[in-house]
Structure 1
């Protein structure tokens, strides 16, 4: 019975790793169960035995990928009271994460609409919480708050990092200085 359990666990692991590899190369929207099965060396039926729906496979894939990353730490950001110190620390943390996970993040964020609703909604909620955490110490209201929220949201966006660093070759530290300056201009 132990050998069978090991085989089942090994098969499940191969399926998850195949899904991670495909999501990281062609993206979640283009990844089919047939492609996952072929990459894992199993049949489609075997994939469905382990993952009865797309949501289960996506969740396992996301958990596997995330376990290999060093995620941003919003709790550490929250311990910093000064608005621009918090923002600089947070952007440095986010940009480090973006750089480390760039291929997967590019595809996963690009294909977000194709993700199962619970995963998509969780990602959107986490981003909104991070934005609120970064905006909070500014104590802004009205038009100034809207400007700051837009500037901070843009600075914290994966696509902003990707444009500045991946496409235009800035170092992460230079991108942090540039986006922090943009937020500073919005704060006045």
Structure 2
């Protein structure tokens, strides 16, 4: 019985590994159950036995991929009372994470519509929480200033912003953090 349970666990992990590999090479939209099964060395039926729907498969794939890297820690950023230092720390943490998973994140971002709604919505909620932590330390004067600050913080914290600045324009993470920290902290047109 123990060996059978081990085999089931090994098969499940091979399926997850295959999904992670395909999501990171061709993207979620181009990853089929047949391709996952072929890469894992199992049948499509076996994939469905382990993962009855796309949400279960995406959740396992995401959990496995995220478990292999240090995640951004907005709970730690929130402990920093100085607004600019909190922003700098948070962006440094985010940009490190983006760099460590750039290929997968680019494909996931490109194929966002192919990701099951519960997974996509959880990701978006996490992004909103990060922006709230980054922007909330600032003492903004009025609704307009608060709205502008949150918009700029959201822009600074977004993966496409990091990608444009660092991959597209060749900035280092340190340079990109400094530029975005200045933009969000100083509020242009004040």
TM-score, reference length from structure 1: 0.96
Q: Does 1:136 align with 2:160?
A: no
What does 1:51-90 align with in structure 2 at a 5 Å threshold? 51-90=51-90
Name the counterpart of 2:7: 7
Superposition RMSD on alpha carbons, in Å? 1.1
Structure 2 unaligned blocks of 5 or more:
none
Aligned length in residues: 188
What does 1:116-155 align with in structure 2 at a 5 Å threshold? 116-140=116-140, 141-155=142-156
Deviations 1:109-138 (A, max 9, x none): 222221111111111111111111111111
Deviation at 1:184, TM superposition (A): 2.7
Deviation at 1:2, TM superposition (A): 2.1
Deviations 1:27-79 (A, max 9, x none): 11111101100111111011001111111110100010011010001111001
Deviation at 1:139, TM superposition (A): 2.5
Deviations 1:144-188 (A, max 9, x none): 112111111111110000111112211100000111111133163
Structure 1 unaligned blocks of 5 or more:
none
Name the counterpart of 2:107: 107
TM-score, reference length from structure 2: 0.95
Dislocated runs of 4+, deviation >4 Å: none
SS of aligned partner of 2:166: helix
